[in-house]
Amino acid sequence: MARTGRISSRTDVVLFAVCVFLSLLAMVLPLRLREPVASALRRSLVAPLLQLQEGSERWRAAYLSSQREELKRDTLALAAARVPTLENENDRLRKLLGLGSALKWGFIPAEALQGRGRAEDFTITLSAGANAGVRERSLVVAPEGIVGLVQTVDPTLSLAILFAHPDFRVSAMSADGSAFGIVQPHVTGTGAQRDPAFLRSERYLLEMRGVPFRATLKPGAVVYSSGLGGIYPKGIPVGVVMGEIKTTEAWARTYILRPAVNPAELSAVMILTPQRAAAGLTNVWAGVGAVDSATRSIVLAGDSLARQAAAAEAAARRAALDSAARLLRDSLGRDTSAAAAAVPAPVTPARPAPTPDSAAAARARARRDSIQRERARADSLARQIPGAPATPRPTTTPEPVR
Amino acid sequence: MNWSATIRTVLLCGILILLHYTLRPLLAWRASADFLIIALLLASVRVRPGVAALFGFILGLASDSVALGAFGAGALAMTLIGFGWSRLKAVFFADHVLLNGFFLFLGKWAYEILMNLVERRLHGAELLMQILVWSSLSAAVTAVAGVIALMLLRPVLETRAA
């Protein structure tokens, strides 16, 4: 027993020594001898395992590729989601450029940083201050119209009150100058009769008070600053009339205005220097509209050209279809004309030209004639083909002339 | 070792070798589990030292055939580990999951150290970094994978009472 164990142990050691020797031999073999051995192993023993490994690598590559595709799709979706925001921003910046070119001088562009606190509802922080030339009581405008007034100026920042601030007042007038009044924030909840339920949800509304009773403003009319009072120059859009509200003031009318500028969408504004405001702003906003529309028309020019090309192509296609249909009708007409020649054509009584008052009668006559023609055609076909069943006559009877 | 045990061991080693060439490339971790070492260590404690050395030699040579830079190094390392582990099984063998995990860690780490020393590719701080960080990390992952494989393949490994 012990002998068997010793022999086994000796065999193990020999086997181990042989393996170690062969390993060392493999290590010290020159490359030209080593490579055939490795190659034989790769082609025989390791080949199926390497195929398995290759399959796994391919799976992994496919998985990574699908992940990359998914990432690309997500990126595209994200980019597509950002497009409307970018378009809006682009539109606003284009309008601001239009305002800048209309103002020509005396303005300071600034970012409007809106606070989200309750106390910051009526104020905005502007990213330009005294260093940029902003002064107290400088006018803040946007491409759409009036925004507010600078109240506090720091070297790099300034604070402005919005038109929704309770202290805001501006003298305003209609576009034709027929109605004047004072525009101020519409403070809801102060009285039931001047506080319709549908307006409760509307923030930032304005009201134009003190409009003479004889002057009326229609909904949709634009109201501009009148220049009276000395702070706001004439011609800045303030808002659009939404409707009249009833007040206790019997000698004057009060109108609710939708402000020209939506503070929630305010991102970039222009601060006017006092000199620029004093120089007047008449026709600036008309110019802004013109520049904006010109830019839009340039942008849309490409679209309209494409539309024109598409319309021309559609017209050509329609013309081709019409000519084909006409050819088909003509050939059919030639086939049936021989049949129709065998039958005397129904005598159509001469009719006077239809007059506007006898249009209904003319329509009825035309219908009667067409029915008669149809009957004659059916009879002629029945005579030409004796075995053919007679075409049933239309049972429609002409309507009596009313 | 009877025929049944031999077949089970061969089956277990076959599964582990298949895992080495399928799961490992699929995961593609830097410190990945070495299923060949797991197969070698699990087989070494079930066969005679000479057979374990031969098995290690064949496994090592097979893995060396696709790594021309160190042809023979893997065979030498696996031969030493297989023979040594088979010799030491009487001292260390215990059917405990954590102990098996520890043995697997030691075996893989020893293999990595041997390979790094025999290959002589890295030197100095790089070699130290490789042995202490990446080799030990790879050994730990191998140990975890080995323990999981042992737990999953326990029905195959269990010997029936006579």
CA distance, residue A78 to nearest chain B CA (Å): 30
Q: Does A53 touch chain B (CB under 8 A)?
A: yes
The residue type at A143: P
The residue type at A26: A
A347 phi and psi angles, rounded to 5 deg: -80, 120
Render pLDDT for A200-247 as a digit per residue (tens, 0 to 9): 446 678 989 889 888 888 889 899 998 888 788 888 999 999 988 887
Chain B residues with CB under 8 Å of A33 CB are none
- The closest alpha carbon to B41, from B7, B12, B5, B71, belongs to B12
Residues contacting residue A150 through CB under 8 Å, at least 6 positions apart = A126, A134, A135, A136, A137, A138, A139, A140, A158, A159, A160, A271
Q: Does A46 touch chain B (CB under 8 A)?
A: yes
Which residue in B has a C-alpha nearest to residue A47's C-alpha?
B62
DSSP assignment, residue A171? E
Angle between helices B35-44 and B3-27 (to 10 degrees): 160
Pairwise CA distance, residues A121 & A117, whole Å:
7
Structure tokens at A136: 């107290």
- The closest alpha carbon to B36, from B6, B68, B4, B66, belongs to B66
Q: Determine the pLDDT at residue B93.
A: 56
Render pLDDT for A278-299 as a digit per residue (tens, 0 to 9): 888 777 786 555 545 555 555 5
CA distance to A316, A321, A332, A334, A338, per residue, from A328 (Å): 19, 11, 6, 10, 17
Averaged pLDDT for residues A80-104: 85
Q: How many CB atoms lie within 10 A of CB A392?
A: 7
Render pLDDT for A156-190 as a digit per residue (tens, 0 to 9): 899 898 888 888 889 999 888 888 999 988 876 55
Chain B residues with CB under 8 Å of A23 CB are 57, 60-61, 72-73, 75-76, 79
Pairwise CA distance, residues A258 & A260, whole Å:
6
Q: Determine the pLDDT at residue A271.
A: 92
CA distance, residue B33 to nearest chain A CA (Å): 15
Mutate to test the interface with B, among A12, A22, A51 (most CBs of B within 10 A): A12
Residue A19, burial from CB neighbour count under 10 angstroms (0-12, 13-18, 19+): buried
For chain B, what is the radius of gyration of the CA atoms?
15
CA distance to A392, B11, B85, B89, B108, per residue, from B4 (Å): 96, 11, 22, 20, 28
Residue A99 has pLDDT above 80, yes or no: yes
Note the residue count of chain A.
402
Chain B residues with CB under 8 Å of A4 CB are none
Q: Does A38 touch chain B (CB under 8 A)?
A: yes
- For CA atoms B104, B109, B114, B116, the dihedral sign is positive
* Kind and range of the H or E run holding B23: helix B3-27
Render pLDDT for A114-131 as a digit per residue (tens, 0 to 9): 765 555 567 888 989 899
Residue A18 has pLDDT above 90, yes or no: yes
Q: Are A143 and A95 in contact (CB under 8 A)?
A: yes
Q: Are B49 and B91 in contact (CB under 8 A)?
A: no
Render pLDDT for B102-133 as a digit per residue (tens, 0 to 9): 888 988 888 888 888 877 777 888 888 888 88
Structure tokens at A152: 């506090």
Chain A residues with CB under 8 Å of B14 CB are none
Angle between helices A31-43 and A47-103 (to 10 degrees): 90
pTM over 0.80: no
Residue A302 has pLDDT above 60, yes or no: no
For chain A, give the mean pLDDT.
76
CA distance to A18, A38, B81, B108, B128, per residue, from A41 (Å): 19, 5, 22, 24, 33
Number of H helices, E strands in chain B: 8, 0
Q: Does A131 touch chain B (CB under 8 A)?
A: no
Chain B residues with CB under 8 Å of A41 CB are 61-62, 65
Q: Does A264 touch chain B (CB under 8 A)?
A: no
Q: Are A261 and A221 in contact (CB under 8 A)?
A: no
Percent of chain A at pLDDT > 70 equals 68
Q: Determine the pLDDT at residue A215.
A: 83
Q: How many C-alpha atoms does B2 have within 13 Å on its Cβ side?
A: 6
Pairwise CA distance, residues B142 & B105, whole Å:
7
Q: Where are the alpha helices (DSSP H) in A149-281?
A: 197-200, 274-279
Place of tokens 């450029």: A97
- The closest alpha carbon to A158, from A149, A168, A146, belongs to A149
Q: Does B159 touch chain A (CB under 8 A)?
A: no
- The closest alpha carbon to B96, from B139, B38, B151, belongs to B151
Contact B72 A45 (CB under 8 A): no
The residue type at B132: L
Residue A52 has pLDDT above 80, yes or no: yes
CA distance, residue B7 to nearest chain A CA (Å): 20
Structure tokens at B155: 């029905």
Which residue in B has a C-alpha nearest to residue A34's C-alpha?
B71
- The closest alpha carbon to B16, from B70, B59, B73, B51, belongs to B59
Q: Determine the pLDDT at residue B99.
A: 79
CA distance, residue A74 to nearest chain B CA (Å): 25
Residue A342 has pLDDT above 60, yes or no: no
Residue A331 has pLDDT above 80, yes or no: no
Residue A132 has pLDDT above 90, yes or no: no
Q: Does A59 touch chain B (CB under 8 A)?
A: yes
CA distance, residue B83 to nearest chain A CA (Å): 7
Averaged pLDDT for residues A385-391: 46
Which of A23, A29, A46 is closest, CB to CB, to B57?
A23
B115 phi and psi angles, rounded to 5 deg: -60, -45
CA distance, residue B8 to nearest chain A CA (Å): 20
Please name every residue paired with A112 in a beta bridge, in sequence order, or none if there are none. A126
Residues contacting residue B160 through CB under 8 Å, at least 6 positions apart = B4
Pairwise CA distance, residues A238 & A223, whole Å:
6
Place of tokens 């924030």: A185
**Which range (A24-38, A195-209, A388-402) has the least confidence?**
A388-402
**Which range (A181-195, A322-336, A350-364) has the least confidence?**
A350-364
A348 pLDDT band, cuts 50/70/90, is: very low
Averaged pLDDT for residues A62-88: 91
CA distance, residue B15 to nearest chain A CA (Å): 12
Structure tokens at A54: 């290759």
Q: Does B50 touch chain A (CB under 8 A)?
A: yes
Secondary structure E strands in A35-144: 107-113, 123-126, 139-142
Q: Determine the pLDDT at residue A345.
A: 45
Low-confidence ranges of chain B (pLDDT < 70): 1, 68-69, 90-95, 156-162
- How much is the ipTM here? 0.83
Place of tokens 């999951």: B97
Q: Determine the pLDDT at residue A140.
A: 92
